[in-house]
Chain A
Amino acid sequence: MGNTPAKETRSPSGSFSKDNVASPKSLVGLSKRKKEKDREKRRQKEQHMLDLIVRYQENVDGGYLAPYGNYKDGLNYKTDVVRELIIERKLAPFYTPLEDFDENWTDSELLSRLKRLKLHAPTSESFLDEDEDPDDHKIHQSASSMRRKEHKAFKRHLSEMAVKFQRDAESRFTRDKSVSESGIKSYPNIPSDDLLLTLYRNAVECPICFLYYPPNLNLSRCCVQPICTECFVQLKRLDPHPPHDEGAAPNSSSDSEKIAEELISEPVNCPFCAMSDFGVTYSPPNLWTGIGGRPPRDFNFAPQVIHEDPETNQGPSRSREYQRKTSLNYAMTKSHSASGTPPKKPVIFSEHRTNQGQKSFDDSVSINSKNSDNSSQTQNVAGFDPARRRRGSLPATAPGVITVDLIHPDWEQKLLNAKSKLARRSAAATALHASSLIYDRDESQHTYSSRFERSYRRSDSSNVNDHNSHTSVEERMIEAALKLSLLDEEERKLKERLKR
């Protein structure tokens, strides 16, 4: 049987996964530029995977920079943009969700649940489907089949690495946590009990995933509804589609061309009030722990008291009472220390860092929005919470509004691709149609000759009678070819523009 040669041809594909740099054989027919592009794409995908690992050291106000893993798919948002937004406190961090919550739980009940939380939802080992490639049973595999396999191997490799990295991060977290609890050594990024309680004491339910999060969720810009960051990053535009669902299948080429032009991609509607161009605002709690703030280990309810009594952390009854009070309006917690008169060392430290955070925050905002951002910052420091007080809706362009398109900027490219794909198909159909006309014509004259002969004969000795019709057909083919190349050019230009 053909088994042996098939295996031989398959063997090179096995070596591809060893290294990211594809072996020359695998990229047969690919230009150097394309190879480079391929490599760049892989590098980006690896970075994306790494960005999705939850590491406890990367925390902001008790949350993290990567999602917990409620959704195993659809994580193709711009991780770098989202990480940046979280660090700048313009988007809620990814908090670890509680599956249920009861406000009657005592602090210790709540704490014991919080301490059992993992960084990431249990990951299932490789759920990639192992379906066969259509070329598997062929003796000679096409270059594209090799590329497909290579791509699959790379994807599998990535997901395996992701599982491994997350497991490592998880065990590190567990280890450091238990070391901290035993009191042998403390790690600055293991959150204090006070921080955990402050965050989760008044947990609220995200109306989309029904999981419980600290109350500082993002708020929809339009109807001021809460939404967790993990659900927010899941929202994205639908694939480009014709304006009406029930468009009849295009028959003539001009129709399909028109349809290609008419393809639309609509901004995501608010899941709550259906307003177009969904966006959220976020106002951070006055905790300032983690990146740009003080270590989460050092957070406590009553910084002033600590100044005199460093043992408050252990929790005498007096501070318990205090806790309840503070946690109720926990957002005000830090205003005590920020506006309070005797700033002790850690607070100075954190304020210093805070200012830095603000600076980078301001720098990243465009100039005309600077004023309003500054004012919101001062309000924050004074203990006010602008978003929580916010009643009315904000336009999508308002400063501080994070739209879906901002973290899924690829929609424009997708629309373009869909358009050019459709236009290309219609142009190809025109060309095919035109060439079939030639064949039809020739068919009547040389019924028994093969296609090759026909086309060959046509090129050097075309019938005089047919001359006119041939030229018109050729003109149409040239036209179609021109159209294709124009499309290519347009696409290239837009890509360049997008890059810039």
Chain B
Amino acid sequence: MRNPPRTPMTTTLNRPLTVFLSDPVPGITAVPHEDNLRYFNVTIDGPSGSPYEGGKFKLELFLPDDYPMLAPKVRFLTKIYHPNIDRLGRICLDVLKANWSPALQVRTILLSIQALLSSPNPDDPLANEVAEEWKNNEQNAIKTAREWTERFAQ
């Protein structure tokens, strides 16, 4: 099915983004696509003290038509070894699903993702194998995460 031609952004969409873009968060960038302002190229710096430190992770972020009533869609483009992020880059994060609220903003979401990198949660896994490794042999898992960061997130 073809998508209907996108109309220019509505004011509603415009404002939160202006707010976000004018007040950047350290370690996070978000640049809208030229041809589709709902689509963003995002980078998140791996938080210090985590196995992702020193890495620059690329993500894509898309604001659906119903945003902000529906959560933005976010996905990692950079390969990452993390129990809550699967091979396709999908992220298991409550605020992206059931706990989304229209009062949350793009910046809150990106900050939450950054926080997820600092504190992986293997008890609520999306990538099962990674989670197993994380639970059974945390040191090894962290080592792999660090290796992946060096290999893919530079």
Which residues of A come within 8 Å of B, CB atoms? 69-74, 97, 99, 121, 124, 127-129, 131, 207-211, 225, 231, 234-235, 245, 269-272, 274
Contact = CB atoms under 8 A, between A and B. Distances in A.
Nearest to B104: A271
A303 to B, nearest CB: 35
Contact of B2 (A128, A129, A225): A129
B16 A210 contact: yes
B10 interface: yes
Nearest to B100: A271
Contacts of A124: 7-8
A272 B16 CA distance: 16
A interface secondary structure, majority = loop
B4 A129 contact: yes
Contact of B103 (A74, A128, A234, A271): A271
A127 B4 CA distance: 7
Contacts of A74: 66, 69
B31 interface: no
Q: Across chains A and B, which 5 residue pairs bring their CB atoms closest together, nearest first?
A: A210-B15, A129-B4, A70-B12, A271-B103, A124-B7
Contacts of B66: 73-74
A480 B93 CA distance: 42
B10 A70 contact: yes
Interface string B1-14: 11111011011101
A211 B12 CA distance: 8
A274 B101 contact: yes
A99 B103 contact: no
Contact of B11 (A128, A207, A211): A211
A290 B112 CA distance: 46
B69 A235 contact: yes
Nearest to A72: B10
B19 interface: yes
A69 B103 CA distance: 19
A272 B10 contact: no
Contacts of B15: 99, 209-211
Given A73-B65, A127-B4, A129-B3, A272 B103 contact: yes
A101 to B, nearest CB: 11
A208 B10 contact: no
A71 B7 contact: no
Nearest to B18: A210
Contacts of A128: 4
Interface residues of B, number: 25
Contact of A71 (B1, B12, B99): B12
Interface string B93-120: 0000111011100000000000000000
A269 B12 CA distance: 21
A197 to B, nearest CB: 23
Given A74-B66, A231-B102, A272-B103, 15 more contacts: A69-B10, A70-B11, A70-B12, A71-B69, A72-B10, A121-B10, A121-B11, A124-B7, A129-B1, A208-B68, A211-B12, A235-B69, A269-B101, A271-B102, A271-B103
Contacts of A234: 69, 102
A212 to B, nearest CB: 9
A97 B11 CA distance: 10
Scoring B2, B4, B12 by chain A CB atoms within 10 A of each residue's CB, the highest score goes to B12
A264 to B, nearest CB: 13
22 contacts: A70-B11, A71-B12, A71-B69, A72-B7, A73-B66, A99-B15, A121-B10, A127-B4, A129-B1, A131-B1, A131-B2, A207-B103, A209-B15, A210-B16, A210-B19, A211-B11, A245-B98, A269-B101, A270-B101, A271-B102, A272-B101, A272-B103
A128 B7 CA distance: 11
Contacts of B12: 70-71, 209, 211
Nearest to A236: B69
A70 B4 CA distance: 19
Nearest to A70: B12
A209 B11 CA distance: 9
A99 B13 CA distance: 11
B39 to A, nearest CB: 18
B111 to A, nearest CB: 17
B127 to A, nearest CB: 15
Interface string B42-60: 0000000000000000000
Nearest to B105: A210
A272 B65 CA distance: 21
A484 B68 CA distance: 40
Contacts of A69: 10
Nearest to B12: A70
A235 B69 CA distance: 7
B37 to A, nearest CB: 15
Nearest to B6: A127
Contacts of B7: 72, 124, 127
A245 B126 CA distance: 13
Contacts of A129: 1-4
A67 to B, nearest CB: 11
A151 to B, nearest CB: 17
Contacts of B68: 208-209
Contacts of B1: 129, 131
A439 to B, nearest CB: 35
